[in-house]
Structure 1
């Protein structure tokens, strides 16, 4: 999706939406990613010029804001550039600091798997075309996902249970999982990304295992790999 720069009458709500997406994504991750997201949010809320897409701030100032040393700032800014969230617009020269831009669309794409944690209204607001069934991203399905086809496997039968219980959660998290084999009473499911696998394993494993045991009580564990 391409987000219009948050200026004009709806600027305030758009800014909150971007920050909300970052917050939900960060809270769903490990402590290292959480810290990185918090640092980005600190830059955005204190010094980022939304209208001009400019962040002009020296490493010393950033170090004070983040309560770290300048070497840490240098490493973290490099990681954010590599991630695509931070874009170097003008290299600093003698007596002048570097100017960066923020790739807000990249941030939203990367945080999209966490949108369901905020709510369906949030998802529909940020991607109304997908919510209306007119296309959009295929990462978080906002339109109805069809009932899984029965093929005689344990996973297909469990999918039907999960879909019947909570179609929204099924569409966002379970639909994309694929059967990677059942061995020693443990089912392995493959997720499309490491984040997807990590989120399901951390937050939805019990729900997943419960559905599997309804279908086959001999299933003792479920593993999610990305």
Structure 2
């Protein structure tokens, strides 16, 4: 999926589309998810710089906006970081607040299952499933069914299932060939089949791997990819 950037001539419409995706996702979830997404949307609509992808606001200000205490702010911001929805661009120091960013691609990936609740026009606009004219079946071709990837034991087993469910084509191309190299001091080691494979994952897909692994086990903070 291509990343939607809310800049340019259609910036306003893109912002509404992203916020609509978050809204639909929240409404389809439990009260805890709804509250968390609503709080993030409050930060986005009041303090987020779309053009620069920057959110700079202190915990005390967030607590006032959310009508909660600062401990709740720390907990929910940690949850949003663990989801991969927000990232730390510059760590705060000497009285300066941290500058955060939004991972719009991750947000859209996570909210995609709820897009259909908005309507077919939204699906078409966002690049989701488009209704197409039915083609006559080709009776000479036997359809190939890829086996389901069920959650397995261990951190990597659970992360594999999540990655396969999220984007099966990407999983088959880049994640299926990874082997579990064990964990070391809160870091999961994955073994790639070649140096090129490992380099590509480090450059293009490392954050997606980290997010899947964190969701499988919140105690794993890092992922290291080595060539076999």
Deviations 1:9-43 (A, max 9, x none): 10000000000011011011110000001011001
CA distance in 2, matches of 1:35, 1:146: 46
CA positional deviation for 1:132: 7.5
Secondary structure of 1:53's partner? coil
User: Which 5+ residue runs of structure 1 have no aligned equivalent?
Assistant: 134-142, 148-177, 179-191, 197-226
CA distance in 1, matches of 2:99, 2:68: 20
User: Which 5+ residue runs of structure 2 have no aligned equivalent?
Assistant: 138-147, 149-160, 166-228
Note the 1:202-221 alignment, pairs <5 A.
Answer: none
Residue aligning to 1:186: none
1:33 maps onto 2:47 in alignment: no
Deviating 4+ runs (over 3 angstroms): 143-147
CA distance in 1, matches of 2:78, 2:8: 32
CA RMSD of aligned residues (A): 2.6
Residue aligning to 2:205: none
Q: TM-score, normalised by structure 2?
A: 0.57
Secondary structure of 1:43's partner? helix
**Greater C-alpha radius of gyration:** 1
Note the 1:162-173 alignment, pairs <5 A.
Answer: none
CA distance in 1, matches of 2:64, 2:32: 19
Secondary structure of 2:73's partner? helix
CA positional deviation for 1:105: 1.0
Q: TM-score, normalised by structure 1?
A: 0.58
Q: How many residues were matched structurally?
A: 141
1:45 maps onto 2:45 in alignment: yes
CA positional deviation for 1:3: 2.0
Note the 1:109-148 alignment, pairs <5 A.
Answer: 109-127=109-127, 131=130
